[in-house]
Amino acid sequence: MSDIDMPDFASTSLVSALADMAPMRRADGVWRSAWRRFRRDGVGMVSLAIVAAYALLIACTGSGLVARHWQDEVGVPDARPSFVGPAAAPPPGVALPAAAAASAEVDISDVDPLAPRYAEWDARAAQYHAQVRPIAATLPFGGDRLGRDVLSKALKGTQISVSVGVLAAIVATLIGAALGALAGFFGGHVGDLVEWAYNVLTAVPEILLFFAFAAVFGRGISTLVLIMGLTGWTGQYRQVRAEFIKHARREYVLAAEAIGAGAGARMFRHILPNVSHVILARMSLLVVNFIKAEVILSYLGLGVATNQVSWGTMLAESQSELILGHWWQLAAATIAMALFVTAFSLMADAWRDALDPRLRGLR
Protein backbone atom coordinates (compact mmCIF):
# COMPACT_ATOMS: atom_id res chain seq x y z
CA MET A 1 0.00 0.00 0.00
CA SER A 2 2.85 2.35 -0.73
CA ASP A 3 1.27 4.09 -3.69
CA ILE A 4 -1.52 6.17 -2.22
CA ASP A 5 -2.04 8.20 -5.42
CA MET A 6 -4.18 5.77 -7.30
CA PRO A 7 -6.84 6.45 -9.89
CA ASP A 8 -10.33 7.18 -8.67
CA PHE A 9 -11.87 3.92 -9.76
CA ALA A 10 -9.55 2.03 -7.43
CA SER A 11 -9.87 4.38 -4.52
CA THR A 12 -12.86 2.71 -2.89
CA SER A 13 -11.20 -0.69 -2.84
CA LEU A 14 -8.04 0.94 -1.60
CA VAL A 15 -9.88 2.66 1.20
CA SER A 16 -11.55 -0.54 2.29
CA ALA A 17 -8.29 -2.44 2.05
CA LEU A 18 -6.58 0.20 4.15
CA ALA A 19 -9.38 0.12 6.65
CA ASP A 20 -9.03 -3.63 6.96
CA MET A 21 -5.28 -3.43 7.38
CA ALA A 22 -5.20 -0.60 9.85
CA PRO A 23 -5.36 -2.00 13.39
CA MET A 24 -6.78 1.26 14.79
CA ARG A 25 -9.74 1.72 12.52
CA ARG A 26 -12.76 3.70 13.52
CA ALA A 27 -15.20 1.50 15.37
CA ASP A 28 -18.62 0.91 13.88
CA GLY A 29 -21.90 1.41 15.64
CA VAL A 30 -23.51 -1.39 17.60
CA TRP A 31 -25.83 -2.35 14.76
CA ARG A 32 -23.26 -2.10 12.03
CA SER A 33 -20.76 -4.29 13.85
CA ALA A 34 -23.56 -6.73 14.70
CA TRP A 35 -24.39 -6.89 11.01
CA ARG A 36 -20.74 -7.60 10.20
CA ARG A 37 -20.73 -10.51 12.59
CA PHE A 38 -24.11 -11.69 11.32
CA ARG A 39 -22.82 -11.77 7.76
CA ARG A 40 -20.23 -14.36 8.69
CA ASP A 41 -22.94 -16.76 9.86
CA GLY A 42 -23.87 -18.95 6.88
CA VAL A 43 -27.01 -20.44 8.41
CA GLY A 44 -28.10 -17.01 9.54
CA MET A 45 -27.71 -15.55 6.08
CA VAL A 46 -29.69 -18.36 4.41
CA SER A 47 -32.50 -18.03 6.94
CA LEU A 48 -32.44 -14.26 6.52
CA ALA A 49 -32.90 -14.74 2.76
CA ILE A 50 -35.88 -17.03 3.35
CA VAL A 51 -37.47 -14.62 5.81
CA ALA A 52 -36.89 -11.77 3.36
CA ALA A 53 -38.60 -13.81 0.62
CA TYR A 54 -41.58 -14.29 2.91
CA ALA A 55 -41.65 -10.56 3.64
CA LEU A 56 -41.68 -9.84 -0.09
CA LEU A 57 -44.48 -12.34 -0.56
CA ILE A 58 -46.50 -10.75 2.21
CA ALA A 59 -46.01 -7.33 0.64
CA CYS A 60 -47.27 -8.75 -2.69
CA THR A 61 -50.32 -10.44 -1.23
CA GLY A 62 -51.08 -7.42 0.93
CA SER A 63 -51.04 -5.08 -2.08
CA GLY A 64 -53.13 -7.51 -4.11
CA LEU A 65 -50.47 -8.39 -6.70
CA VAL A 66 -50.63 -12.05 -5.78
CA ALA A 67 -53.51 -14.30 -4.70
CA ARG A 68 -56.14 -11.57 -4.88
CA HIS A 69 -58.71 -14.03 -6.22
CA TRP A 70 -58.12 -16.71 -3.66
CA GLN A 71 -61.86 -16.93 -2.96
CA ASP A 72 -62.80 -17.74 -6.62
CA GLU A 73 -63.98 -21.16 -7.64
CA VAL A 74 -61.34 -22.04 -10.20
CA GLY A 75 -61.38 -25.79 -10.13
CA VAL A 76 -63.67 -28.71 -9.58
CA PRO A 77 -64.37 -29.39 -5.91
CA ASP A 78 -61.37 -31.04 -4.32
CA ALA A 79 -59.37 -30.65 -7.52
CA ARG A 80 -56.21 -32.70 -7.41
CA PRO A 81 -52.76 -31.15 -7.80
CA SER A 82 -51.51 -30.97 -11.40
CA PHE A 83 -48.48 -33.11 -10.68
CA VAL A 84 -50.77 -35.91 -9.45
CA GLY A 85 -53.16 -35.72 -12.42
CA PRO A 86 -57.01 -35.45 -12.65
CA ALA A 87 -59.31 -37.69 -10.69
CA ALA A 88 -60.17 -40.99 -12.41
CA ALA A 89 -63.47 -40.97 -14.45
CA PRO A 90 -66.50 -42.35 -12.59
CA PRO A 91 -67.21 -46.03 -13.32
CA PRO A 92 -69.47 -46.57 -16.47
CA GLY A 93 -72.25 -48.51 -14.67
CA VAL A 94 -73.66 -45.34 -13.06
CA ALA A 95 -75.92 -43.46 -15.54
CA LEU A 96 -76.80 -39.83 -15.07
CA PRO A 97 -80.53 -39.10 -14.46
CA ALA A 98 -80.54 -36.39 -17.20
CA ALA A 99 -79.66 -38.95 -19.87
CA ALA A 100 -82.53 -41.17 -18.74
CA ALA A 101 -84.99 -38.28 -19.01
CA ALA A 102 -83.90 -37.38 -22.57
CA SER A 103 -84.86 -40.82 -23.88
CA ALA A 104 -88.49 -40.38 -22.78
CA GLU A 105 -89.05 -37.01 -24.46
CA VAL A 106 -92.62 -36.38 -25.82
CA ASP A 107 -93.78 -33.52 -28.09
CA ILE A 108 -96.42 -31.49 -26.16
CA SER A 109 -96.27 -28.25 -28.20
CA ASP A 110 -99.90 -28.65 -29.25
CA VAL A 111 -101.21 -28.34 -25.76
CA ASP A 112 -98.48 -26.06 -24.39
CA PRO A 113 -100.03 -22.63 -23.70
CA LEU A 114 -96.58 -21.05 -23.63
CA ALA A 115 -95.56 -22.39 -27.06
CA PRO A 116 -96.24 -19.16 -29.00
CA ARG A 117 -93.84 -17.20 -26.80
CA TYR A 118 -90.81 -19.47 -27.08
CA ALA A 119 -89.50 -17.77 -30.17
CA GLU A 120 -89.83 -14.35 -28.59
CA TRP A 121 -88.06 -15.51 -25.45
CA ASP A 122 -85.28 -17.11 -27.47
CA ALA A 123 -84.75 -13.82 -29.29
CA ARG A 124 -84.57 -11.91 -26.05
CA ALA A 125 -82.22 -14.43 -24.54
CA ALA A 126 -79.89 -14.08 -27.53
CA GLN A 127 -79.35 -10.43 -26.58
CA TYR A 128 -77.48 -11.57 -23.46
CA HIS A 129 -74.17 -13.27 -23.60
CA ALA A 130 -73.56 -15.84 -20.91
CA GLN A 131 -69.93 -16.52 -20.11
CA VAL A 132 -69.22 -19.83 -18.50
CA ARG A 133 -65.85 -19.86 -16.76
CA PRO A 134 -63.91 -23.00 -17.47
CA ILE A 135 -63.55 -25.12 -14.36
CA ALA A 136 -60.16 -26.78 -14.23
CA ALA A 137 -59.96 -30.46 -13.43
CA THR A 138 -56.58 -29.98 -11.70
CA LEU A 139 -54.93 -27.00 -9.98
CA PRO A 140 -51.17 -26.36 -9.40
CA PHE A 141 -51.35 -27.53 -5.80
CA GLY A 142 -54.89 -28.85 -5.77
CA GLY A 143 -58.14 -27.24 -4.70
CA ASP A 144 -60.33 -27.30 -1.63
CA ARG A 145 -63.93 -28.41 -1.09
CA LEU A 146 -65.22 -25.27 -2.85
CA GLY A 147 -62.79 -25.54 -5.74
CA ARG A 148 -60.57 -22.71 -4.49
CA ASP A 149 -56.87 -22.82 -5.34
CA VAL A 150 -54.90 -24.14 -2.35
CA LEU A 151 -51.72 -22.39 -3.45
CA SER A 152 -53.45 -18.99 -3.46
CA LYS A 153 -54.99 -19.77 -0.11
CA ALA A 154 -51.59 -20.67 1.32
CA LEU A 155 -50.06 -17.45 -0.01
CA LYS A 156 -52.90 -15.34 1.40
CA GLY A 157 -52.84 -17.35 4.64
CA THR A 158 -49.13 -16.59 5.00
CA GLN A 159 -49.90 -12.90 5.00
CA ILE A 160 -52.50 -13.21 7.75
CA SER A 161 -50.66 -15.69 9.95
CA VAL A 162 -47.25 -14.03 9.82
CA SER A 163 -48.59 -10.53 10.35
CA VAL A 164 -50.69 -11.71 13.28
CA GLY A 165 -47.67 -13.47 14.81
CA VAL A 166 -45.28 -10.56 14.33
CA LEU A 167 -47.73 -7.87 15.48
CA ALA A 168 -48.74 -9.86 18.54
CA ALA A 169 -45.08 -10.46 19.39
CA ILE A 170 -44.39 -6.73 19.14
CA VAL A 171 -47.33 -5.95 21.46
CA ALA A 172 -46.27 -8.62 23.95
CA THR A 173 -42.63 -7.50 23.84
CA LEU A 174 -43.54 -3.86 24.43
CA ILE A 175 -45.70 -4.75 27.42
CA GLY A 176 -43.28 -7.32 28.82
CA ALA A 177 -40.15 -5.22 28.35
CA ALA A 178 -41.70 -2.05 29.78
CA LEU A 179 -43.10 -3.80 32.86
CA GLY A 180 -39.95 -5.87 33.28
CA ALA A 181 -37.76 -2.77 33.09
CA LEU A 182 -39.90 -0.96 35.67
CA ALA A 183 -40.10 -3.88 38.09
CA GLY A 184 -36.45 -4.85 37.72
CA PHE A 185 -35.02 -1.36 37.91
CA PHE A 186 -37.07 0.07 40.75
CA GLY A 187 -37.91 -3.05 42.71
CA GLY A 188 -39.62 -2.26 46.00
CA HIS A 189 -43.32 -1.41 45.81
CA VAL A 190 -43.34 -0.90 42.04
CA GLY A 191 -41.78 -4.31 41.62
CA ASP A 192 -44.26 -5.91 44.03
CA LEU A 193 -47.22 -4.40 42.20
CA VAL A 194 -46.16 -5.62 38.78
CA GLU A 195 -45.25 -8.97 40.24
CA TRP A 196 -48.76 -9.37 41.69
CA ALA A 197 -50.32 -8.55 38.32
CA TYR A 198 -48.03 -11.09 36.72
CA ASN A 199 -48.88 -13.77 39.26
CA VAL A 200 -52.62 -13.25 38.91
CA LEU A 201 -52.45 -13.40 35.14
CA THR A 202 -50.30 -16.53 35.03
CA ALA A 203 -52.57 -18.24 37.55
CA VAL A 204 -55.38 -18.32 34.95
CA PRO A 205 -55.00 -21.07 32.32
CA GLU A 206 -53.99 -19.48 29.04
CA ILE A 207 -56.71 -21.07 26.92
CA LEU A 208 -59.33 -19.68 29.32
CA LEU A 209 -57.87 -16.21 28.85
CA PHE A 210 -58.04 -16.67 25.08
CA PHE A 211 -61.74 -17.56 25.31
CA ALA A 212 -62.46 -14.67 27.63
CA PHE A 213 -60.74 -12.06 25.46
CA ALA A 214 -62.28 -13.52 22.27
CA ALA A 215 -65.74 -13.30 23.83
CA VAL A 216 -65.19 -9.64 24.68
CA PHE A 217 -63.56 -8.46 21.46
CA GLY A 218 -65.24 -10.62 18.79
CA ARG A 219 -63.41 -12.17 15.87
CA GLY A 220 -60.80 -10.67 13.60
CA ILE A 221 -57.12 -10.04 13.12
CA SER A 222 -56.85 -7.11 15.52
CA THR A 223 -58.59 -9.17 18.19
CA LEU A 224 -56.12 -11.98 17.72
CA VAL A 225 -53.20 -9.58 18.01
CA LEU A 226 -54.65 -8.08 21.21
CA ILE A 227 -55.49 -11.43 22.77
CA MET A 228 -52.06 -12.87 22.20
CA GLY A 229 -50.26 -9.65 23.07
CA LEU A 230 -52.14 -9.25 26.35
CA THR A 231 -51.65 -12.85 27.46
CA GLY A 232 -48.21 -13.62 26.04
CA TRP A 233 -46.02 -10.93 27.66
CA THR A 234 -45.33 -12.84 30.87
CA GLY A 235 -42.22 -14.73 29.77
CA GLN A 236 -40.68 -11.61 28.25
CA TYR A 237 -41.49 -9.71 31.45
CA ARG A 238 -39.77 -12.21 33.73
CA GLN A 239 -36.65 -12.32 31.61
CA VAL A 240 -36.32 -8.57 31.18
CA ARG A 241 -36.96 -8.07 34.89
CA ALA A 242 -34.19 -10.51 35.77
CA GLU A 243 -31.77 -8.77 33.39
CA PHE A 244 -32.64 -5.34 34.79
CA ILE A 245 -32.19 -6.50 38.39
CA LYS A 246 -28.76 -7.79 37.41
CA HIS A 247 -27.73 -4.70 35.45
CA ALA A 248 -29.19 -2.05 37.77
CA ARG A 249 -26.48 -2.75 40.37
CA ARG A 250 -23.66 -3.00 37.83
CA GLU A 251 -20.97 -0.37 38.20
CA TYR A 252 -21.52 1.25 34.83
CA VAL A 253 -25.09 2.07 35.84
CA LEU A 254 -23.90 3.34 39.21
CA ALA A 255 -21.34 5.44 37.34
CA ALA A 256 -24.12 6.84 35.18
CA GLU A 257 -26.05 7.75 38.33
CA ALA A 258 -22.94 9.42 39.72
CA ILE A 259 -22.66 11.70 36.70
CA GLY A 260 -26.30 12.64 37.19
CA ALA A 261 -28.15 10.46 34.68
CA GLY A 262 -31.83 10.15 35.63
CA ALA A 263 -33.74 6.91 36.09
CA GLY A 264 -35.14 6.98 32.55
CA ALA A 265 -31.74 7.52 30.96
CA ARG A 266 -30.21 4.76 33.03
CA MET A 267 -33.03 2.33 32.18
CA PHE A 268 -33.36 2.97 28.49
CA ARG A 269 -30.10 4.51 27.34
CA HIS A 270 -27.70 2.48 29.46
CA ILE A 271 -29.28 -0.83 30.37
CA LEU A 272 -31.65 -1.47 27.47
CA PRO A 273 -28.99 -1.74 24.72
CA ASN A 274 -27.10 -4.17 26.94
CA VAL A 275 -30.09 -6.49 27.29
CA SER A 276 -31.43 -6.03 23.76
CA HIS A 277 -30.14 -9.41 22.65
CA VAL A 278 -32.20 -11.12 25.35
CA ILE A 279 -35.34 -9.23 24.36
CA LEU A 280 -34.78 -10.03 20.70
CA ALA A 281 -34.28 -13.74 21.35
CA ARG A 282 -37.45 -13.92 23.42
CA MET A 283 -39.38 -11.94 20.81
CA SER A 284 -38.42 -14.36 18.07
CA LEU A 285 -39.67 -17.22 20.21
CA LEU A 286 -42.91 -15.29 20.70
CA VAL A 287 -43.39 -14.85 16.94
CA VAL A 288 -43.07 -18.59 16.44
CA ASN A 289 -45.34 -19.35 19.41
CA PHE A 290 -47.99 -16.87 18.31
CA ILE A 291 -48.09 -18.27 14.79
CA LYS A 292 -48.72 -21.65 16.33
CA ALA A 293 -51.26 -20.19 18.77
CA GLU A 294 -53.12 -18.54 15.87
CA VAL A 295 -53.32 -21.93 14.20
CA ILE A 296 -54.81 -23.45 17.33
CA LEU A 297 -57.25 -20.57 17.87
CA SER A 298 -58.43 -20.63 14.26
CA TYR A 299 -58.77 -24.37 14.53
CA LEU A 300 -60.98 -23.86 17.58
CA GLY A 301 -63.01 -21.29 15.68
CA LEU A 302 -61.76 -18.32 17.70
CA GLY A 303 -59.33 -17.09 15.13
CA VAL A 304 -59.67 -15.04 11.97
CA ALA A 305 -63.07 -14.13 10.45
CA THR A 306 -64.80 -16.59 8.13
CA ASN A 307 -64.05 -14.52 5.01
CA GLN A 308 -60.35 -14.63 5.74
CA VAL A 309 -57.85 -17.41 5.42
CA SER A 310 -54.92 -18.31 7.60
CA TRP A 311 -52.73 -21.35 8.07
CA GLY A 312 -54.94 -22.21 11.02
CA THR A 313 -58.21 -22.21 9.07
CA MET A 314 -56.54 -24.23 6.33
CA LEU A 315 -55.46 -26.83 8.84
CA ALA A 316 -58.95 -26.88 10.35
CA GLU A 317 -60.49 -27.52 6.92
CA SER A 318 -57.97 -30.15 6.02
CA GLN A 319 -59.02 -32.29 8.95
CA SER A 320 -62.21 -33.44 7.19
CA GLU A 321 -60.51 -33.54 3.79
CA LEU A 322 -57.83 -35.86 5.01
CA ILE A 323 -60.40 -38.60 5.62
CA LEU A 324 -61.18 -38.50 1.87
CA GLY A 325 -57.47 -38.69 1.06
CA HIS A 326 -57.20 -35.03 0.03
CA TRP A 327 -53.84 -34.24 1.63
CA TRP A 328 -52.77 -31.18 -0.38
CA GLN A 329 -54.30 -28.45 1.74
CA LEU A 330 -52.66 -29.86 4.87
CA ALA A 331 -49.34 -30.15 3.05
CA ALA A 332 -49.47 -26.59 1.69
CA ALA A 333 -50.20 -25.01 5.07
CA THR A 334 -47.66 -27.19 6.87
CA ILE A 335 -44.82 -26.56 4.42
CA ALA A 336 -45.41 -22.81 4.38
CA MET A 337 -45.51 -22.67 8.16
CA ALA A 338 -42.59 -25.03 8.86
CA LEU A 339 -40.30 -23.23 6.45
CA PHE A 340 -41.07 -19.81 7.89
CA VAL A 341 -40.92 -20.83 11.54
CA THR A 342 -37.62 -22.66 11.11
CA ALA A 343 -36.01 -19.88 9.10
CA PHE A 344 -37.23 -17.25 11.56
CA SER A 345 -35.93 -19.11 14.60
CA LEU A 346 -32.52 -19.67 13.03
CA MET A 347 -32.33 -16.06 11.95
CA ALA A 348 -33.22 -14.78 15.41
CA ASP A 349 -30.61 -17.07 16.92
CA ALA A 350 -27.95 -15.69 14.59
CA TRP A 351 -29.00 -12.13 15.48
CA ARG A 352 -28.80 -12.90 19.15
CA ASP A 353 -25.24 -14.18 18.75
CA ALA A 354 -24.28 -11.18 16.65
CA LEU A 355 -25.68 -8.70 19.19
CA ASP A 356 -24.46 -10.27 22.43
CA PRO A 357 -21.64 -8.08 23.75
CA ARG A 358 -20.11 -11.01 25.58
CA LEU A 359 -19.59 -13.01 22.41
CA ARG A 360 -17.69 -10.18 20.81
CA GLY A 361 -14.17 -10.97 19.69
CA LEU A 362 -14.60 -14.66 20.33
CA ARG A 363 -14.86 -17.02 17.41
Q: Contact residues for other proteins (CB under 8 A)?
A: 20, 24, 26-27, 30, 33, 36-37, 40, 188, 250-252, 254-261, 265, 270, 273-274, 357, 360-361, 363
CB of 1: closest distance to other proteins in angstroms? 17
CB of 299: closest distance to other proteins in angstroms? 43
Distance CA(126)–CA(130), nearest Å, equals 9
User: What one-character-per-residue DSSP string does 232-291 give?
Assistant: S-HHHHHHHHHHHHHHHTSHHHHHHHHTT--HHIIIIIIIHHHHHHHHHHHHHHHHHHHH
CB of 21: closest distance to other proteins in angstroms? 11
Strands of the chain (E only): list them.
Answer: 75-81, 136-139
CB of 178: closest distance to other proteins in angstroms? 20
Distance CA(231)–CA(47), nearest Å, equals 29
CB of 240: closest distance to other proteins in angstroms? 16
**32 vs 133, which CB is nearer to other proteins?**
32
**243 vs 317, which CB is nearer to other proteins?**
243
Q: How many residues does the chain have?
A: 363
DSSP classification of residue 133: P
Distance CA(49)–CA(51), nearest Å, equals 6
**129 vs 363, which CB is nearer to other proteins?**
363
**13 vs 222, which CB is nearer to other proteins?**
13
Q: What are phi and psi of 304, to 5 degrees?
A: -70, 165
**16 vs 319, which CB is nearer to other proteins?**
16
Which among 117, 288, 186 has a CA at the least distance from the CA of 195?
A: 186
